[in-house]
Amino acid sequence: MELPIYKTRVVAFIDILGFKDLISQLPQDPDIHFRIHRALSRIKVIEKFTELPHLENSIEVSVFSDSIAISSEEKNIESLFWTVGFLQADLLCLGVLVRGGIAIGKTTHSSGLLYGEGMIEAHDLEQQAHFPRVVVASDVVRKNQNLKKWLIVDKFGFASVNPFKFDAMVGGAEDLAADGYDPRFCYYKEVRSHLINKLTTLKAPRHLEKWKWMAEYFNEAAVIFNEKSTEKIEIIEL
């Protein structure tokens, strides 16, 4: 039997937060059912990203329940970051948070098989992320300085993917633009509505802290957006 290739790859492991709780609410809440179905449908689309020319057929994707693994050769690391960042931003617009890790190491990822050092480290980073963020291993950042344009660095020096750097849009963006609306403004408005809803309805401190953390980064992104746009996003009071 010919063994699959085991070589250095960049690996992202992403987990949808609160998935079990969301599933338990499906029978009573059609809106949640709609959002979950739509979110998982969006994730499924990633498996077709390899058909896009700018990704150079470089991305491997595995989707299992509420988890997603994405990997690429190191030379295509920007394609992987674009895929991860856009996924995170897209799900945020649906009111869904994710947590994850991106690492580099010897990995096999093909034909449904996924194992290796890179996958283990990416999973470990996801477990340590705590907040709804995709943490990037320090050696990945050190070797790829051009990735900093897509990163947030916290006060402890941990780098994570900034979902507000990927210009994600709401559904029907082309129609909105044709009608004179700024699709990016509509995106911020939609994300803000989800953040406000969670911050005002959630009771459990461990859930609240995750949405508050995201709201803080939303405010920072909104300030930058407001400097360039005629339509202004209202900052969330925390």
pLDDT digits (tens, 9 = 90+) for 79-89: 899 889 988 99
Spatial separation of the C-alpha atoms in residues 171 and 47, rounded to whole Å: 20
SS3 159: strand
pLDDT at 237 over 60: yes
Helices and strands, counts by H and E, the chain? 8, 8
Q: Collect all residues with Cβ–Cβ distance below 8 Å to 167 and sequence separation of at least 6.
A: 184
Handedness of CA 78, 35, 233, 202 (dihedral sign): negative
Looking at the fold, whether 185 and 158 belong to one and the same domain comes out as no
Residue 237 falls inside a structural domain: no
Number of domains in the chain: 2
Looking at the fold, whether 147 and 179 belong to one and the same domain comes out as no
Q: Collect all residues with Cβ–Cβ distance below 8 Å to 158 and sequence separation of at least 6.
A: 135
pLDDT at 55 over 60: no
Measure CA 184 to chain center. Answer: 17
Residue 55 falls inside a structural domain: yes
pTM of the entire predicted model: 0.88
Dump pLDDT digits (tens) for 178-217.
666 788 999 999 999 999 999 999 998 988 999 999 999 9
Query: Which of 130, 165, 200 represents a domain boundary (last residue)?
Result: 165
Spatial separation of the C-alpha atoms in residues 63 and 82, rounded to whole Å: 18
Residue 233 falls inside a structural domain: no
Looking at the fold, whether 108 and 196 belong to one and the same domain comes out as no
pLDDT at 97 over 80: yes
Instruction: Supply the range of the domain harboring residue 185.
Output: 173-228
Handedness of CA 168, 8, 145, 120 (dihedral sign): positive
Spatial separation of the C-alpha atoms in residues 210 and 233, rounded to whole Å: 21
Amino acid letter for position 195: L
Q: At how many degrees (to 10) do helices 77-92 and 30-46 cross?
A: 170
Residue 236 falls inside a structural domain: no
**Phi, psi (deg, nearest 5) at residue 89:** -65, -40
Residue 1 falls inside a structural domain: no
Going from the C-alpha of 118 to that of each of 72, 111, 191, 227, the distances in angstroms are: 11, 17, 32, 39
Least confident of 33-47, 79-93, 196-210, 222-236: 33-47
Domain containing residue 47: CATH number: 3.30.70.1230
- ∠153-200-99 over CA atoms, to 5°? 35
Residue 234 falls inside a structural domain: no
Instruction: Identify whether the C-beta of residue 77 lies closer than 8 Å to the C-beta of residue 105.
Output: no
pLDDT band at 54 (very low <50, low <70, confident <90, very high): very low
Dump pLDDT digits (tens) for 131-168.
999 999 999 999 988 899 999 998 888 899 999 998 88
